[in-house]
Amino acid sequence: MDIYKRNNVTVRGQGVQPMIFAHGFGCGQHMWRHIWPAFEKDYKIVLFDYVGSGGSDNTAYNPERYDSLNGYAQDVLDICNALDLKDCVFVGHSVSCIIGLLASIKDPERFSSLVMVGPSAKYIDEPGYLGGFSKQDIEELLDTMEKNYIGWANFLGPAIMQNDDRPELAEELTESFCSTDPVIARQFAQATFLSDNRTDLANAKHRTLIMQCSNDLIAPVEVGEFIHSQMPGSVYHLMQATGHCPHLSAPDETIEVIKEFLF
């Protein structure tokens, strides 16, 4: 299997230590274009797309493999194995935060630290835990995706992005959603929004930065605080950036916070 083709792997940078950037749901590696250049002198930059996203090979999609986040975590490990990557800094956005955590627990020698941008370990509320959504919310979201995917994308894109004064940001996110195969996107959404990885947090073996955005629809402040409380040795940073995509809406702040953690 050609991992480079399957996951549309791109390698850049002049450094030796690998720095992997992993995109969120419905996105692709291009979403990191404002961030990775700030690290290319010091790191070996590795960009990729999950199967079914971005420029990946959709023919490699397997519904059974990707019915949970573990299948996506295996994508990450497959890339690490194919490129012989060790001691990686893993930078994940949204659902990729947990995907990276799962990969790092399974093969800890491949990683040195984790950077989580807008993480959530469980999206559905339950007594004593606030995830941001009710079970009915998620069921309606998945139902709408199935019946009217384009309408769903056009509604959720702006809501996730926030920053209404810069509509081009929401337009880019919406366009990214719309360019993803609807069937694959719905299964990825199901694997994401129905997941519960709270017990995995205590098994973290690496230094972790938790970057929490203000006014984030997908990952409320309480979620970031919960993850920080459950992850030994984690660093929590509440950003001024609003919305769920600071790497697009506030790249300078995003770079500054990551550099402060790494350097």
**Is 168 a residue whose pLDDT tops 80?**
yes
Amino acid at 60: A
CA-to-CA distance for 140 and 153, rounded, in angstroms?
A: 14
> So what's the pLDDT on residue 104?
98
At 228-254, the pLDDT tens digits run: 999 988 999 999 999 999 999 999 999
* Across 2-28, average pLDDT: 96
Structure tokens at 245: 């995509």
Query: Known catalytic residue: 112?
Result: no
Q: Which of 75, 104, 216, 228 is catalytic?
A: 216
- Which entry of 53, 94, 120, 176 is annotated as an active-site residue? 94
> In whole angstroms, what is the distance from residue 43 CA to residue 214 CA?
29
- Mean local confidence (pLDDT), 8-32: 97
Q: Is 94 a catalytic residue?
A: yes
104: left (phi over 0), alpha (psi -120 to 50) or beta: alpha
Looking at residue 232, what is its pLDDT? 86
Q: Is it the case that residue 181 has pLDDT exceeding 80?
A: yes
Q: Catalytic residue at 244?
A: yes
The confidence score (pLDDT) of residue 57 equals 96
Give per-residue pLDDT as tens, 81-109. Answer: 999 999 999 999 999 999 999 999 999 99
* pLDDT of the residue at 141: 93
Which pLDDT value is given to residue 256?
Answer: 98
- Average pLDDT of the chain is 96
pTM to 2 decimal places: 0.96
Question: DSSP of 220-255, one letter per residue?
Answer: -HHHHHHHHHHSTTEEEEEEEEESS-HHHH-HHHHH
Sign of torsion over alpha carbons 89, 40, 4, 24? positive
Determine the average pLDDT of the residues in 12-19.
Answer: 97
Question: Which pLDDT score, from 0 to 100, does residue 208 have?
Answer: 98
Catalytic residue among 53, 244, 247, 249: 244
Percent of the chain with pLDDT over 90: 97
